[in-house]
Chain A
Amino acid sequence: MSLTKIDPTWAWTPYRPSESQPWNRIRAAHLFRRAGFGATSQELDAAVGRDPDEIVAGLVTPNLDAEFESESDAFATTILASGNPKQLSAWWSYVMLRTPHPLLEKTTLFWHGHFATSAAKVEDAGAMYAQNRLFRQYALGDFGKLTHAIARDPAMLIYLDSVTNRKAHPNENFARELMELFCLGEGNYSEKDIQELARCFTGWEIRRGSFRFNRFQHDTGSKSIFGQTGPMPESESIDIVLDQPAAPQFIVRKLIRYFLFDEPAASDELVAPLANELSEHAWDIGHVVRRILSSQLFYSDQVIGRKVRSPVDLVVGLLRTLEGSTNAYQLGDDLDMLGQGLFYPPNVKGWDGGRAWINSSTLLGRANVIGRIVRDEKTRFAGVNLKAYFDQLDADSPAAIVDQLVELTLAVEPSQTVKEQLVEVIKRPGDRSQRIAEAIHALSTIPEFQVM
């Protein structure tokens, strides 16, 4: 069945393991790749013994590890003392590598790309971190509350040149992006709506890094947005935008693209059921994400291996899959080089994603980065080198190592020829860990490695 003609009823029916679609390590690996950054061999072993729906429920509503959360906060606070936003990239890379809540982190990354704000312009590490916490707080929560919060977020307003907004000259930037990029999408509003909405945000200012409402600069006059008229004090205007039927459709379509497939854009028919549920569940993102990750469509051949890996999926995914740890500064730089600098999205639209991740230059760059990381002396796998790591997995022959690598890292089985070539690389004389690193480098160059 083509993705354009997909039956919504079938698509969103919860997945139930069957003989034709068994719950196995391959499907579990797919879930963890999409809902996080991949799974280790032990995690897959544990997952196949559990109900997939139960696993997804756990991912969507995690019992937050208080120790990790407080450690992560303290860690970030320490990093912020330097005042350097670049260090935040390293911090977030580190958190992604070690978080016990991968879906929460992956969805935080989704909102970072959605409400794109770049430290290159904001330059205030504290403000960027505060915004990141906001994304994490609402990542799987109430999108309405997140939108209200982001409207007053210092980093966002600095990024959109909205640190001052006077009634005499309303700044339309935030109003425009709220409709076009954050809530509704193009074609679902008029220029007049933007102008009127911008009037609602007059008096919203950033002073010394904090939000301030300047009542003397707020336009208290009557406004008319989407047919509703009134003074619309403060945030009431945002609710009017969120109440538009296009809003839940816009968000669901983006979530489908993020979690399911890059192309083609999901049809209105496919989007509609989940958009309705999003409205009925008071903008509960967690509910929709759970429906997506538990659906028949999610585990279908139309979805598995149909999404291009983002640099984060590629690099963090490989490391998490093999329990890797490495120099987080270098990792942050690597992601930046591959076009996904954390805290540094390219523009207000965020990352284009999909096929845009790959071109002749980045394809080579992606393989080179993988090669560098696995050869880096600071990179360890469960604290040991690659040979010792695969020994721990009882993969002590070149063929067994390749089988493990393929199962853990690839959504699509490569050809037998490729696997044989990888075995030959590992068989070469010399240090076994170096040979395995070379095999992973070689693996990273094949097309199957670029998708998940």
Chain B
Amino acid sequence: MHTFRNAGSSLLFVLLASTFGIADDRTAADLLPATTVIYAEIPQPAALLDVLENHLLRKRIENLEGVQAAYEGKQFLQLKAAVAIIEAKLGQKWPQILQSVSEGGISLGFDARSQGVMLLIKARDEEAAPKLLETLIELARAGATGDGKPDPVSSGEYRGITAYQVNQARIATLGTWLLVTNKPESGKALLDAYLDKPENTLASNLQFQEARSKVADSATAWGYIDIDTVRKGGIAKTLFSGKTENAVAELLVGGLLDTLQHTPYATASLTLDPQRTRLELAAPHQQQWTTEAREYFFGPNGSGRAPALIEVENQLAAISTYRDVSTMWLRAGDLFDDKVVDQLAQADSNLSTLFAGKDFGEEILGEVHPEIQVVVARQLFADKTPKPAIKLPAFAAVFRLKDPETVGPDFRRTYQSLIGFLNVIGAMNGQPQLDLDMDKEDNYQIVSANYLPEKDASPGGLKIHYNFSPSVAFVGEHFIVSSTKALARELAVAVSKENKPNSDVNSFVQVNVGGVSAILADNRGQLVAQNMLSEGHSKEEAERAIGDLFALLEAVEDASIDLAASEGTLRASLEIDYVAD
């Protein structure tokens, strides 16, 4: 009977219960109070279930060793037994039950006034939800009786409507609706709204209407947050403070913080189909909200655009962005607190020394155009190259110089000084030495340094150093800094051939998941060893666990993230493409 109780409670929570109904075309937003600040909706759960049923990932996930083990686990078997009982009671298969109970959509809201979370599920007809709720309550009660526990379900009435309570959840069915909430006030508000049909609801909120209108009808799920109210409520003060206090975070998302300080709301929409997943976050955006200090992020009048992607063989990831790093560096006093400013001043001083006394912010970063690209690629380690035990990807940054004739030689000298410095430090620590080299072709010049092989390799195999052959390349106005000579060369050739116009977004990130999988495969031994240590697995178990990871990665083709500020909207989107079977 213990089984019944657990399974019953689980399902009670999963489905969040049910009651009565009358045919009505009202939406969840018509029932939720106007003070609702967070709202999420799955308009067509049946369509979502259908996508999940046929999703490319599904079979792969089901075949994973870990999932197979979970299927044989006690909890899953308990759940399965409970589902079988429900199916027998209701005379329908579980997918049909879910479909009929949620055909009109599933919505979730958080009300700022009552601080309650409200779940609203609209069933196909007035019978589906009450039947399921009744069955679940029976199950829960039977389980409790079997365990000699008190009745876990209590009930009460409000305006003639029976509501049930299980733990913190208050549940009622009304017409075609199944309503669940964690606060009595929220529950009353929902029942009042259903019975009284007030004019002032979330649906009548103009801001909500505007947000809803901007979400594509094809979205599988979408959400809305009233940022204005959240901000005024003093919640997440750090997020809305407009400061990051971290130079890297500032560089990545600093421009978004100005928008967060003013934008009234934000939406998220998720579109799922068997081949692709797309998540889009959007918020109203006005150029005037961007402070002068953050002009470096979006560019003058928001005109900054990321450069077109340079593609190389075995590319794992690429980041292309517009960031005027010189301006950001010089504006540090406006962007960060004193501690960070002091750290940056110290870095500025050291870097100025490295660059032969030139002002780092003004004369070095100031000589670089704001269009920047970072490329990460898998290394293949040709036979002649020493193979390190841990194989890291190569990475490089591509810049455009404002005055390559003047600045190029400065950068070359600085690179040579840096290699000399690294050799001195390396020698002090018994590390391998770098050997300088220079290649000159018609269109480009590469200055590189290779680690000399050690006579006696350590028991750990070749050191991690052999992942690197730090290089710089000069290709017309382009300047490339790369962790390896091979990638520097590949980029130099690509840059000298291509001259694509900039993209139409501020930033984008592209990830080739197949490539990531390949580089993990290159380090499979490491991953297995780490798994053995951290999970206590035997080698065979660890091999299986890592195999599961690869199986999942193999299902994903690539992923990309875009950030764009245009047409009054700040938009960030994540897209994942799956490999077709």
- Residues from chain B with a CB closer than 8 A to the CB of A129 are 459-460
* A77-B389, A82-B390, A83-B464 given; A325·B533 CB < 8 A: no
Instruction: Indicate if the CB atoms of A81 and B526 lie closer than 8 Å.
Output: yes
Shortest C-beta distance, B463 to chain A (Å), equals: 8
- Residues from chain B with a CB closer than 8 A to the CB of A379 are 536
Kindly report which residue of chain B lies nearest to residue A125, judged by CB atoms. Answer: B460
- Residues from chain A with a CB closer than 8 A to the CB of B386 are none
Is B490 among interface residues, defined by CB-CB distance under 8 A? Answer: no
Taken together as a complex, chains A and B put the C-alpha atoms of A91 and B464 apart, in Å, by 20
Is A98 among interface residues, defined by CB-CB distance under 8 A? Answer: yes
Instruction: Indicate if the CB atoms of A80 and B532 lie closer than 8 Å.
Output: no
* A81-B390, A209-B430 given; A328·B456 CB < 8 A: no
Instruction: Indicate if the CB atoms of B536 and A91 lie closer than 8 Å.
Output: no
- Residues from chain A with a CB closer than 8 A to the CB of B402 are none
Instruction: Indicate if the CB atoms of A208 and B430 lie closer than 8 Å.
Output: yes
Q: Interface digits, A195-222 against B, CB 8 Å rule (1 contact, 0 not)?
A: 0000000000000111000000000000
Main secondary structure of the interface of A (DSSP, over half): helix
Considering only residues 73-103 of chain A, those with a C-beta below 8 Å from chain B are: 74-83, 87, 90-91, 94, 97-98
Taken together as a complex, chains A and B put the C-alpha atoms of A208 and B388 apart, in Å, by 19
Instruction: Indicate if the CB atoms of B538 and A94 lie closer than 8 Å.
Output: no
Shortest C-beta distance, A42 to chain B (Å), equals: 17
In the complex, which of the residues A90, A126, A133 contacts B458, with contact meaning CB atoms closer than 8 Å? A126
Taken together as a complex, chains A and B put the C-alpha atoms of A11 and B535 apart, in Å, by 44
Taken together as a complex, chains A and B put the C-alpha atoms of A130 and B537 apart, in Å, by 25
- Residues from chain A with a CB closer than 8 A to the CB of B458 are 80, 126, 209
Is B247 among interface residues, defined by CB-CB distance under 8 A? Answer: no
- Residues from chain A with a CB closer than 8 A to the CB of B533 are 79, 87, 90-91, 94, 327-329
Q: Interface digits, B443-475 against A, CB 8 Å rule (1 contact, 0 not)?
A: 000000000000010111101100000000000
Interface size class of B (residues with CB under 8 A): 20 to 34
Taken together as a complex, chains A and B put the C-alpha atoms of A303 and B526 apart, in Å, by 44
- Residues from chain B with a CB closer than 8 A to the CB of A80 are 389, 458-461
Taken together as a complex, chains A and B put the C-alpha atoms of A81 and B530 apart, in Å, by 12
Is B534 among interface residues, defined by CB-CB distance under 8 A? Answer: yes
- Residues from chain B with a CB closer than 8 A to the CB of A209 are 430, 456, 458
Is B529 among interface residues, defined by CB-CB distance under 8 A? Answer: yes
In the complex, which of the residues A78, A130, A329 contacts B526, with contact meaning CB atoms closer than 8 Å? A78
Instruction: Indicate if the CB atoms of A77 and B459 lie closer than 8 Å.
Output: yes
- Residues from chain B with a CB closer than 8 A to the CB of A82 are 390, 460
Instruction: Indicate if the CB atoms of A77 and B460 lie closer than 8 Å.
Output: yes
With an 8 Å Cβ cutoff, the count of chain A residues facing the other chain is 33
Q: Interface digits, A353-390 against B, CB 8 Å rule (1 contact, 0 not)?
A: 00000000000000000000000001110000000000
Instruction: Indicate if the CB atoms of B389 and A210 lie closer than 8 Å.
Output: no
Taken together as a complex, chains A and B put the C-alpha atoms of A126 and B458 apart, in Å, by 6
Taken together as a complex, chains A and B put the C-alpha atoms of A327 and B528 apart, in Å, by 14
- Residues from chain B with a CB closer than 8 A to the CB of A325 are 536-538
Is B237 among interface residues, defined by CB-CB distance under 8 A? Answer: no
Instruction: Indicate if the CB atoms of A378 and B525 lie closer than 8 Å.
Output: no
Kindly report which residue of chain B lies nearest to residue A78, judged by CB atoms. Answer: B529
- Residues from chain A with a CB closer than 8 A to the CB of B390 are 81-82
Instruction: Indicate if the CB atoms of A126 and B459 lie closer than 8 Å.
Output: yes
- Residues from chain B with a CB closer than 8 A to the CB of A126 are 458-460
- Residues from chain B with a CB closer than 8 A to the CB of A133 are 459
Taken together as a complex, chains A and B put the C-alpha atoms of A125 and B535 apart, in Å, by 22
- Residues from chain B with a CB closer than 8 A to the CB of A78 are 389, 525-526, 528-529
In the complex, which of the residues B460, B461, B528, B535 contacts A378, with contact meaning CB atoms closer than 8 Å? B535
Kindly report which residue of chain A lies nearest to residue B526, judged by CB atoms. Answer: A78
- Residues from chain B with a CB closer than 8 A to the CB of A87 are 533
In the complex, which of the residues B460, B525, B536 contacts A327, with contact meaning CB atoms closer than 8 Å? B536
Is B358 among interface residues, defined by CB-CB distance under 8 A? Answer: no
Q: Interface digits, A47-91 against B, CB 8 Å rule (1 contact, 0 not)?
A: 000000000000000000000000100111111111100010011
Is B539 among interface residues, defined by CB-CB distance under 8 A? Answer: yes
Shortest C-beta distance, A215 to chain B (Å), equals: 20
Kindly report which residue of chain B lies nearest to residue A93, judged by CB atoms. Answer: B533
- Residues from chain A with a CB closer than 8 A to the CB of B389 are 77-78, 80-81
Instruction: Indicate if the CB atoms of A380 and B536 lie closer than 8 Å.
Output: yes
Shortest C-beta distance, A260 to chain B (Å), equals: 32
* A77-B460, A81-B390, A126-B460 given; A327·B529 CB < 8 A: no
- Residues from chain B with a CB closer than 8 A to the CB of A83 are 460, 463-464
Taken together as a complex, chains A and B put the C-alpha atoms of A331 and B124 apart, in Å, by 55
Kindly report which residue of chain B lies nearest to residue A379, judged by CB atoms. Answer: B536
Shortest C-beta distance, A104 to chain B (Å), equals: 19
Considering only residues 369-413 of chain A, those with a C-beta below 8 Å from chain B are: 378-380
Q: Interface digits, B60-73 against A, CB 8 Å rule (1 contact, 0 not)?
A: 00000000000000
Shortest C-beta distance, B423 to chain A (Å), equals: 15
- Residues from chain A with a CB closer than 8 A to the CB of B528 are 78
Is A224 among interface residues, defined by CB-CB distance under 8 A? Answer: no
Is A326 among interface residues, defined by CB-CB distance under 8 A? Answer: yes
Instruction: Indicate if the CB atoms of B535 and A74 lie closer than 8 Å.
Output: no
Taken together as a complex, chains A and B put the C-alpha atoms of A74 and B528 apart, in Å, by 11
Kindly report which residue of chain A lies nearest to residue B389, judged by CB atoms. Answer: A81
- Residues from chain B with a CB closer than 8 A to the CB of A71 are 539
Shortest C-beta distance, A369 to chain B (Å), equals: 15
Considering only residues 379-398 of chain B, those with a C-beta below 8 Å from chain A are: 388-390
Shortest C-beta distance, B433 to chain A (Å), equals: 11
Taken together as a complex, chains A and B put the C-alpha atoms of A74 and B460 apart, in Å, by 9
List 7 interface pairs A-B (beta carbons < 8 Å), by A numbering. Answer: A75-B532, A79-B460, A80-B458, A98-B538, A130-B459, A327-B533, A379-B536
- The chain A residues found within 8 Å of chain B, CB to CB, are 71, 74-83, 87, 90-91, 94, 97-98, 125-126, 129-130, 133, 208-210, 325-329, 378-380
- The chain B residues found within 8 Å of chain A, CB to CB, are 388-390, 430, 456, 458-461, 463-464, 525-526, 528-529, 532-539
For the A-B complex with A126-B459, A209-B456 known, give 4 more contacts whose Cβ atoms are closer than 8 Å. A80-B389, A81-B461, A83-B460, A378-B534
For the complex of A and B, 9 pairs with smallest distance between CB atoms: A80-B460, A81-B389, A325-B536, A126-B458, A78-B529, A328-B533, A326-B536, A90-B533, A81-B390
